[in-house]
Structure 1
Amino acid sequence: MRVVVGGGTGFVGRALTQLLRSRGHQVTHVSRRGGKDRITWEELSRSGLPLCDAVVNLAGENVLNPFRRWGDAFCREVISSRVETTKTLAKAIAAAEQPPRAWVLITGVGYYRPSPTAEYTEDSPGGDFDFFSRLVSSWEAAALIPGSPARGVVDLSGIVCHALEKESVRGILNGVAPSSPGTSNGTFARELAAALGRPALVPVPAWAVRAVFGAERAAMLLEGQRVLPKRTLESGYHFIFPELPGALKDIVA
């Protein structure tokens, strides 16, 4: 297939691009800067969608960017970075003489927090269902945060590829591994430490998390949930790393 990927130069985008190309697909990125196998968002708006079979949108400002203060301006930027890029791609798809047959939207790579106790599947009522792909990548960030859920999902690009290649796939797919949903960040940190061959000793207090990220974003890290990939499994996707230790060892390697 010929696949156009918005935001294809990020962490998930690079993994997805590598996987798609390894499976014989052609990939064109839409990004702020042009280049080989890339077009800019301005070019997309001006010239329309390149001839393609599928479109994926991964674009969006990092909600948990610790270098940006949480406020109205940053909140608008986070929303706009997702909504406007999706609108741009949707308009280009609608105007295309030969529209793509597949359209995959990642509704919010990162964390999903509708309730700290309920179990959520793709069939649960209410709200959006986000793909969990936020890997705590730095050692400092991997210290223990009390009660925080965190799952590194290396299968996210596999799920997107599966959705593109299997025409029967429709609707929402949760990109969280099936084993032990709601894994605490304490468990995550210990498993990551084991993968790195380092100790995980000192927990980060909740007040420090709130000081860095602000109260609203800190809640994403400090409050838990159980998200289940019911429809993802029913669609026929087989997780490469259904268990957290194997996923972390692969990423670290």
Structure 2
Amino acid sequence: MRILVGGGTGFVGRELSRLLRDKGHEITVISRKPGPGRITWGDLESGGLPPCEGAVNLAGENLMNPLRWWNEGYKKDLFSSRVDTTKALANAIAASHTPPRSWVLVTGVACYKPSFTAQYTEDSEWMPFDLLSRLVKEWEEAGRLPENMKETTKQVVIRPGAVLGRDGGAMKQMLLPFWLGLGGTLGSGRQPFPWIHISDLAGLIAHALELPADASHPAPQVFNGVAPAQNTNYEFTKELGRLLRRPTVFPVPSAVVNTLMGVERALVLTQGQNVTPRRTLESGFEYKYPDLTSALTEIVRA
């Protein structure tokens, strides 16, 4: 397949592009900067969709960028970098004379309200309740294709939890303090911690691109991009400390996380959701790293 990847130069995009090329697919990346094998977002809007059988959007400002203060400008960038790029790609697909067979949008589990007791599947109903859930709502609506395209283009939304990998995301910021013996739980540590290894997220996106259309599900079809293991922040902290052979005795109070990250952003770390990948498993997807021990062992030893 010829596959177009928005945000293909980012943390997940690099892993996905490598996997797809290994599978024999031809990749074109949409990026802010031109280069070999790339087009820019301006090229997409002016020239339309290049020939492709699959399209994916991973573009978006890093939510946990430690170099950016949580302010109105940052919040605006979070929305525009996701919603505008998704809308541009969806509009190009809708306007194409030969639209792709598959259109995959990767959003997040922030749509599900944090709870110690609720269990969320892909069929769980939800309504926006805070800034990040409103972001997911606008993001997914921006990617929705016209009704008359259901027969030509399969639409899939993947909602990942925290993406674990050595070269980016939350792990890149965590490994140094944990190596120094300064790691600890965030807040109470009791909060659910939905996660997925980066190799499995890339694999799930490829799986979604290659799956045949399923007429029994409404468009878009949703997959929860989380590991089948359900863990708390405490369990994650203790397992990472065990594998690194470092103590984890310095808990970080919620008030400190709120001050450093901003209250709205800190909720991602201090609260969480029990998310189950029911439809992901039913689709036949097989995880390489279904549990914390296997996932963190691969990252620590990489």
TM-score for both structures, normalised by structure 1: 0.91
Q: Aligned residue for 1:46?
A: 46
Pair 1:178-2:178 in alignment = no
Q: Percent identity?
A: 47
Measured against aligned partners, the alpha-carbon deviations of 1:55-91 in whole angstroms (never above 9, x if no partner) come to 0000011122232222222211111111100011011
Quote how far apart the aligned CAs of 1:178 are: 0.7
CA contact (8 A) 1:9 1:29 kept: yes
Shift of 1:2: 0.6
Name the structure where strand makes up a greater proportion of residues.
2
Report the counterpart of residue 133 of structure 2 in structure 1.
none
8 Å contact kept, 2:3–2:25: yes
In structure 2, list runs of 5 or more residues that go unmatched.
128-135, 137-157, 165-169
Which of the numbers 148, 153, 177 marks the counterpart of 2:197? 153
Could you tell me whether the CA contact under 8 Å between 2:160 and 2:196 is conserved in 1? no
Matched residue count: 250
| 1:166 CA displacement | 1.1
Where structure 1 has 5 or more consecutive residues not aligned to the other structure, the ranges are none
What is the rounded CA distance, in whole Å, between the counterparts of 1:160 and 1:133 in structure 2? 15
Structure-1 residue corresponding to 2:242? 194
Structure 2 length as normaliser, TM-score? 0.77
Query: Match for 1:36: what amino acid?
Result: P
Shift of 1:111: 4.7
Q: Distance in 1 between matches of 2:110 and 2:94?
A: 30
Question: Partner of 2:276 in structure 1?
Answer: 228
Q: Could you list the per-position Cα deviations for residues 11-63 of structure 1 after superposition, in whole angstroms to 9, with x for gaps in the alignment? A: 11111111111111111110111111111111111111111000000001112
Match of 1:121 in 2: 121
CA drift at 1:172:
0.3
| Alignment match, 2:6 | 6
RMSD, aligned α-carbons: 1.9
The 2-side partners of 1:99 and 1:121 are apart by 30
Amino acid in the other structure paired with 2:256: A
How far 1:143 sits from its partner (Å)? Answer: 3.3
**Please, which of 208, 211, 219 is the counterpart of residue 163 of structure 1?**
208
